[in-house]
Structure 1
């Protein structure tokens, strides 16, 4: 992307980097081409611009040489031959952006939005770095730009005056008329500022000064605007003072959606409290909600977004209330004990001044109530807060549909567009401002295109429509307003949080509760205190803004990935202990962050990615996360061939378990690859892993029905756990032995070993191992068809334990076994219904319960008629907790 800069020394930015244009001659060439604004410039004109009267003997050759050098810098398409000359095509120029900002600022000022206008004029004037076309001063374009610059300076002062800053702007206006005494607009503003500041005599004196100056120097009278102002001054026209904004007695023109609960709560709060503040993120609809509530109550509406300085807050309130004195005392005296509602909108940037004024008014006006909107509380005694959250999904979709219909007459979404609308509303977090702007873009873009816009960059959704209540021109401006109000440290923290996916806990910000509380209080971070530990997240529009404005995105990604690595190192070892359920839930909650951290490390530190993905083997397994974990393990193994043997072995063993769960017959490839990597002399961690791998191997062969082959690795695991002194492995090792013995025909011994292993696991707080012992015991009982009722009861108890451990994969495996037990008790139709539901739920996770348990699968296929399965196919899907009920209640002691 090429950006030309001519408001100062000429520059060309190529994809954000200032290009080296060379010496003064090529700079003049570029300047002359930029001055033509994309039109071709003939060679003689260019030669005159570059050399003037000192052209070389062969200007054409010299010109072509300069063009050739510039093409290497800017690209041949940008600097192209055109007829008898050349043209320079750039994507934009600072001059064009300056002119657009000035034009829009004047429109905002005319629309009585001086605060926004002032910000645009500031932005426009900040683009100037010196004289326009400084490298080529003799250009017709320069006077026009300089004139527009003078206009922008004047209109900026007008915006300050309109916003109520008459005392503060007077000095700058005095300097402005001194600098250019013949520009009557400056005198007009100065005279008005003096009058509004209570200096009527000085105002008339200024009028006499300009009249005398024009007569003495130019022999002319003041123009029509000054003459009209003179008449109004002499008549003391009250309209010269700041006009109060009309109260929002009429509702906005667009439909209002949702917020019934908030409106009811607002009515209840203001019936008992005298100050209620609507708090929430930018664009959430606080202003609209306040106006919907206040519209029938004839409030004094104060738009504080237009107030640029805290000292001007009393003046804005006075103007809205029709009070001449711009002090708290004057306003309180005028209001007295009159009942009324004061609506202070957008307090966040002047929160201290708004709080001070509110406190003073409430203390002296006993029948006054104040409704404020802000991104942070006013922190006044007695204040009641009403959070304004983004719209829920149904209301967000309704609003989006209504606004799109407004720009697409006759449009009705079909099934595909309805699905896209749902995703679009979710991507915009239900933020009304974002939904409004997206709908406006739907006039020229398809819904799928709009959705694509939100994936990788901050949504460029355009300006708000005229007459809208939003105090900001664009969605980015709304977010920037919040971010810019933060202190430097808080802002730096916020900009680093964008890599977190799906939220984060307090530990993600190094337990800096004060800083995080500040971000929550200012509504740029959302807190969910209904879960333990509390969880925090950035709205997606805030997250996109932070991603775009983070000064060091790679460092932020690295910080996030380092946090993921620490989290996994701390909690992965707990996945088998007495706190395993807690760790499973905690890591499951961070699943999106785990994925993002591993994916980052795959590109920059693959060995770390391999270790992290491998340490999560039991999370992948217990959560039935085949589709999530297996690709990450595969990618990490491929990316880190030189990683430590123990880490590679662990990853292979994890991949083996997941492949088995998915029904992949090649699961033993990874199993034995892992065992081979551990070899005979691993480190201590490797020895522990080899001991665990031995009972993995035993369970694998038992599940495949090769029970004789399963006995030896189970005994090896038991022996190694004792030798290593890692007795915590023993219950799982003995469990695998019991399953092998029962399947090999030693049913009573197998059941005894399984029962003993279960007792050991319970004593050690190993809930998962106790649950697996129960499931394997049930399968042993099912080997004797005379005991299906007892097996079903054991399955039910095991499932409760698996459910408590958040082990989705084995809940489904247990339900699959339960279906077989139900068949043996004669409940064939119910078993068919359960089996179909289990297959559906497993399929969504990449699991195959039939291939993972071929013994029961074969028996089920023989026992359940196809007609029963087809009838069950018509039932709705159910989640795993609902499926437990199909087994019936536990029968008690087993």
Structure 2
């Protein structure tokens, strides 16, 4: 078979075995172009006939098609076009459009210079409009528009990479040509002005900005985006510094109440480094104090940068999960997508709009993933900062490395004064005094203390471990027991940990080993619960745990949840290795899984009985351990206990799991579906429910059906039925959804939930009598269910009531949103607020709608609730049209229409938005509306939301001014 290469990024180009072949204009060319539009996929005969002949079909279309195919094969080769049951396709060919997309995708996570090179290669493939003379043909229009959009995106990205790589002049030339064809691409304008500024052309940069503002207002009736307004202010001030965001306080992280000794200079260096650089990396050996230094810096960094701080502890995070761990800490719920790249995009989008100081702690085992994420954030989020701690640097040219060495130790033979004032000796003395207040470093013991510090090689963790032993013995005795070979040894810190470990009795050692199985911090009750499942254990955990704290091997701290404990990372690694060496890892892992199963089962049983906020807090608090237990069970092939855990979690209705836990729930179900059986049916049903909730109704229906067929008990059967009902609703099959929910309504445990959903289905179908009946049943059943289900019932009742009594409906929706917030029912809270926003807009209660909308935009952006965002933007367009802001209304209506995740209008909304489009066309003119739609197509959704925030803020200001406030 000959080697085929096709060019579609311009006029059609055909190479067979490296030699150009001419496909004459006409039917063969149209046929080949249609096949290339669908490269890799079969195209039906009817579609090809439509593409080749359009409205002038031959007398015998199939025969005519075969003739054209035969002639085309004479040019390309006999086997170039394959035939199958689904139609025809090009076989084994290289297409320049595919090469272009691969290069663009690689550039997304590459450093600036490499990204610029990759994008340059990608753009060099273009020779003209995509698909050449057939760009406007019906079969190619959509594909051509998509490729053209990608092309302009690539131009912007390359320009950004050039600016970041220190070549603003080249970026300016690239963007000037682009803006001559695409004058209203605001991100390109922003990059162009930035490039001019950094190229020393500040006056021209300001002139270009003002010219764009004038043209945008004159032609489209719009103001520049908030990003451009901020840029203009910074150009005027002759400084393109990061935007300072209002920020809350720093998060609780480490206990920093102990004295921070001997790191004053390093702390100042780190604060300066992070303030001036987008990526800063604290490096140093284990136990040197990297994490503590980062923790000490964040309050000063928060004050200096004005940025909120988000801390992600990566020590327990496994390969492939970094992006999800970061998203979880940021509170994001990214859109559905497999693999880390879509999640990285959501993180970058969020940080671009809401900058943070992102602290990534203990990154050495996931260094490549962290480097990729940090690089993407640095390139695309101007105001964000990334602070990393790792034993090794990331390997990025853009990172600033802050190396951290051991504390200074006194030289042998130095004076008593020099020894007493050294940082390591001062740290030792402080830590002993915390346990033994009468202790002091004196002339009588300073020589021995200095020797202890030298043997610990100045490593703070090793010094603290030695200090903990000095609290119950004299310095000379501790010195005698520290192994002399530690000095200069390669395993220096591990040897000190091993020394401290050897001083424990056997019960303390066994407990410490077992505690290493926890994924995060834990309570004393959790430790006791774990050990109750460990084979052969009979000790009293409380006193033993206290001894481990006294030995500085376990850290105690107080939190909002009460007393908590954790293992220092080096200790956790050491104890984990000991667990493996003694052959007790599998048994302890099973014990951990059994404890987790007990915990989530109790929470599930309590879900309808205790306060919803308490129950949700308990489940959220143990979710890291749930994920760890599931991962361990999956690795061991133990699907039955894993299914028991996921099924219990799924029955805690309206609780939103983290991304990582959601994926594990789905993986458990998918594994179970490969060999379905009654004892894993609950796990399969849980996965089906999760898939439906995240917008994959087809997969949810498949797994739900398998679960229902495998189930032999009412509990898992009910969960499978719920999953099928939810999947049908998300698929838009309201009749099928109602059928499943009617079956659930007969079960006492689901009476409220099922009638709530039936009320919504009838409301969407305009059956108000049925909707009222189901809503009343749901409200009556609410007291016997969970608080989250009660909030859901109030939301549905609000939707139904609002149809005939908007005021009462609004009160119910506001109540539902408030209760959902209290009990952590995230999804209920957001849909209730969107429904309330719609009601306020359409009832003419604009002041209330504006106040609600401002906070709602921020909430939906953080949650990644893009389905609700699409609905919100449509409603915002309605509000703006009613206040005669016609251009802004057209902007947001176009943004909602172009959002792939936005639900299509149904019922009365179809006619409502048809009328709005007609009004906007009449007020602005069809040409202006078309230009606005073209402009919106190039605006990232993050900037759309920023504009929405700004627009709502402007409406609030106008209202205040009118009221004389």
TM range (shorter): 0.3 to 0.5
Compare CA radii of gyration and give the structure with the larger one: 1
Relative to the length of structure 1, the TM-score reads 0.44
- By relative contact order (CA 8 Å, sep 6+), the higher-ranking structure is 2
